[in-house]
Structure 1
Amino acid sequence: MDWLGTVLDYSKEFGEVAVFGFLFAGFLQAVARPTVVARYLSGYSLWRANAIGATVGFFTPLCCCTAIPTALALWRGGSRPGPACAFLIATPWFNWYGLVALWIFLGWQMALVVAGSGVFIAFLTGMIIDWQSPNERAPRPLPTDVPETVCTTTSCSVKSGSACCSTVDTDGSGEFFDFSHLWQKLQMAGTNAWALARELLPWIAAGILIGATVKTWLPTAWISALEIRGWLTPVLALVLATLLYADSLGSLPLVNALLQKGLGPGNGMILLIAGVGSNIATLGPIYREMGTRVAILYACCVMTLALLLGILWNLFL
């Protein structure tokens, strides 16, 4: 009964975020023109372009099947690889409705740690990639449709050609938002919200069940024994996050349960973030579009920075 009660508690906490979060995210996705971001990044200095890429990525509520082609649109539109990668790291794993869920599950301090670390990792990874990449590159035409190879290689449950797998800015307008044909936009918002829910809910459900199991039956002494080992625990957390990559929202119940058992906050942050750098669905398009060097830098930077920040947060929190 304790396990079932924990499952219900986790489900209730997610329900407080999911309904409004998915609907509002769907509406923003319907009225926003993702490819316009490419114009904002063009011509800016290296640090500013990567800062914009990471920040815009954090506030843009895109599911993975839309985030990947949007990042590729930035790259093909003449952006350096760094801002495109910074955008891709910061969304969809780190975003405003994810921040609300983090706040509810892990508290405001842990929420700010994870969100701030995510944006910082996105920014610094983009900077490192740009430092190691050629400075000049001719822009390629922006796609108006998502390549089939992108949609079919992601972990999304939505089908290629659905509203979630389409870009928006096809009329050449420079405005970031488009509120014309509002009724159609509202219908599209509902479709986008459902597509986002279809992608994330299986991960969330799995996370709730695993988190409830850990919280109910995992002996606290096991976690305490791991924490005594100091630097080894963050490394183990990194390996676990790499092998068992899941959506960050779906990982929240598991991390919540482990933190209550005594896991260090930095190690919890690693579990939530490090899998981004080893996700084959993301690394595949990066490898095909930007090359082996960028893909390796992307993975190594995300995992290394997550490990270093995790050790740092363990010392100060």
Structure 2
Amino acid sequence: MDWLRTALNYSKEFAEVAVFGFLFAGFLQAVVRPTVVARYLSGYSVWRANAIGATVGFFTPLCCCTAIPTALALWRGGSRPGPACAFLIATPWFNWYGLVALWIFLGWQMALVVAGSGVFIAFLTGMIIDWQSPNERAPRPLPTDVPETVCTTTSCSVKSGSACCSTVDTDGSGEFFDFSHLWQKLQMAGTNAWALARELLPWIAAGILIGATVKTWLPTAWISALEIRGWLTPVLALVLATLLYADSLGSLPLVNALLQKGLGPGNGMILLIAGVGSNIATLGPIYREMGTRVAILYACCVMTLALLLGILWNLFL
């Protein structure tokens, strides 16, 4: 009975975010021009380009299959690899509705920790990649007319060009948003929202069931025994995040349950975000387009920085 009550409570908390969140995210996906994002991130100084790459990637509602071609468009247009990687790291983690879900499930303090850590890791990883690859440039120019891909998932499990992704031709405008043909955009927003819900709901349902199981039956003493091991616990969290990489929203009930059992906040942050550094769907294109060196730096920086930040947050929170 306690398990069922916990699962229903998690479902209610998700419903508070999902209905409006999916609709608004679908609308943003319909009006944001990914090619303009790419244009804004090209040609700036190292610091500015990576800062913009991390923050625009974080606040722009693009999923992996949309972020990957957008980031590669930056690279192919002669951009340094750092801003493209910063954009790619920050984007799949949390959009604004994910931040709201974080706030509801984990509280405002943990939400800020995870969000701030995500943007910081993206920025610093981009900077390190640029420092270590100062002369890296793509051999191919960016085409003048690049189609914009509007994808309706936040998971990396869907390949670009699948049924969930539609292509919208750009008119060459430099505006970040395109509100022309508003009625068509609203229809597209509804389609995007429904496809987004279909893609995420299995992950969310699995997360709710696992989270309810952990919260109901996992002995608190087990988590307490792990926490007293100091630095070993963040390492175990990093390994677990690497092995169990999944959609971030679907991971929230599990992390919520573990935090209530006594897991350190830094370890919870690692579980949520470290998996992006070993995600094959992202590392594969980076390896093919930017080379082995950049791919290794990308993975090592994300996982190392997540581990160090997790240890830091455990000490101060």
TM range (shorter): over 0.9
What's the offset of the Cα at 1:73?
Answer: 1.7
Instruction: From the superposition, tell whether residues 165 and 74 of structure 1 become closer, same or farther in structure 2 (CA, over 3 Å).
Output: farther
Instruction: Note the alpha carbon deviations across 1:70-113, whole angstroms, 9 max, x for none.
Output: 21122222221111111111112122111100000000000000
What's the offset of the Cα at 1:247?
Answer: 1.1
CA distance in 2, matches of 1:154, 1:195: 10
What's the offset of the Cα at 1:147?
Answer: 11
Instruction: From the superposition, tell whether residues 175 and 148 of structure 1 become closer, same or farther in structure 2 (CA, over 3 Å).
Output: closer
Q: Is the 8 A contact 1:33 1:168 kept in 2?
A: no
Instruction: Note the alpha carbon deviations across 1:149-169, whole angstroms, 9 max, x for none.
Output: 999999656575468534546
Q: Which residue of 1 aligns with 2:83?
A: 83
Q: Is the 8 A contact 1:63 1:92 kept in 2?
A: yes
Instruction: From the superposition, tell whether residues 49 and 166 of structure 1 become closer, same or farther in structure 2 (CA, over 3 Å).
Output: farther
CA distance in 2, matches of 1:157, 1:231: 32
What's the offset of the Cα at 1:65?
Answer: 1.6
Instruction: Note the alpha carbon deviations across 1:112-156, whole angstroms, 9 max, x for none.
Output: 000000000000001011111143636734469999999999965
Instruction: From the superposition, tell whether residues 299 and 64 of structure 1 become closer, same or farther in structure 2 (CA, over 3 Å).
Output: same
Instruction: Note the alpha carbon deviations across 1:148-194, whole angstroms, 9 max, x for none.
Output: 99999996565754685345462221111111111111111112222
Instruction: From the superposition, tell whether residues 14 and 56 of structure 1 become closer, same or farther in structure 2 (CA, over 3 Å).
Output: same
Equivalences for 1:45-56 in 2 at 5 Å? 45-56=45-56
Instruction: From the superposition, tell whether residues 47 and 164 of structure 1 become closer, same or farther in structure 2 (CA, over 3 Å).
Output: farther
Instruction: From the superposition, tell whether residues 139 and 185 of structure 1 become closer, same or farther in structure 2 (CA, over 3 Å).
Output: farther
Instruction: Note the alpha carbon deviations across 1:35-63, whole angstroms, 9 max, x for none.
Output: 11122122211011000000001111112
Q: Is the 8 A contact 1:66 1:167 kept in 2?
A: no
CA distance in 2, matches of 1:16, 1:190: 18
Q: Is the 8 A contact 2:153 2:164 kept in 1?
A: no
With 259-268 and 89-98 compared, the bigger mean Cα shift is at: 89-98
Q: Which residue of 2 aligns with 1:222?
A: 222
Instruction: From the superposition, tell whether residues 117 and 62 of structure 1 become closer, same or farther in structure 2 (CA, over 3 Å).
Output: same
CA distance in 2, matches of 1:68, 1:271: 23
CA distance in 2, matches of 1:279, 1:195: 22
CA distance in 1, matches of 2:11, 2:57: 27
Q: Is the 8 A contact 1:22 1:196 kept in 2?
A: yes
2:150 aligned counterpart, secondary structure: helix
Q: Is the 8 A contact 2:255 2:268 kept in 1?
A: yes
Unaligned runs of 5+ in 1: none
Unaligned runs of 5+ in 2: none
Q: Is the 8 A contact 1:65 1:150 kept in 2?
A: no
TM-score, with length taken from structure 1: 0.93
Instruction: From the superposition, tell whether residues 154 and 20 of structure 1 become closer, same or farther in structure 2 (CA, over 3 Å).
Output: closer
CA distance in 2, matches of 1:18, 1:8: 15
- Write out the 4+ residue segments of structure 1 that deviate beyond 2 Å after TM superposition: 134-170
CA distance in 2, matches of 1:120, 1:135: 24
CA distance in 1, matches of 2:70, 2:58: 14
Q: Give the RMSD, CA atoms, in angstroms.
A: 2.7
Instruction: From the superposition, tell whether residues 254 and 48 of structure 1 become closer, same or farther in structure 2 (CA, over 3 Å).
Output: same
TM-score, with length taken from structure 2: 0.93
CA distance in 2, matches of 1:160, 1:146: 14
1:150 aligned counterpart, secondary structure: strand
Instruction: Note the alpha carbon deviations across 1:2-53, whole angstroms, 9 max, x for none.
Output: 1111111001101111111111111111111011112212221101100000
Q: Is the 8 A contact 1:207 1:253 kept in 2?
A: yes
CA distance in 2, matches of 1:83, 1:272: 23
Instruction: Note the alpha carbon deviations across 1:209-250, whole angstroms, 9 max, x for none.
Output: 110000000000000000000000000000000011111111
Matched, 1:247 2:247: yes
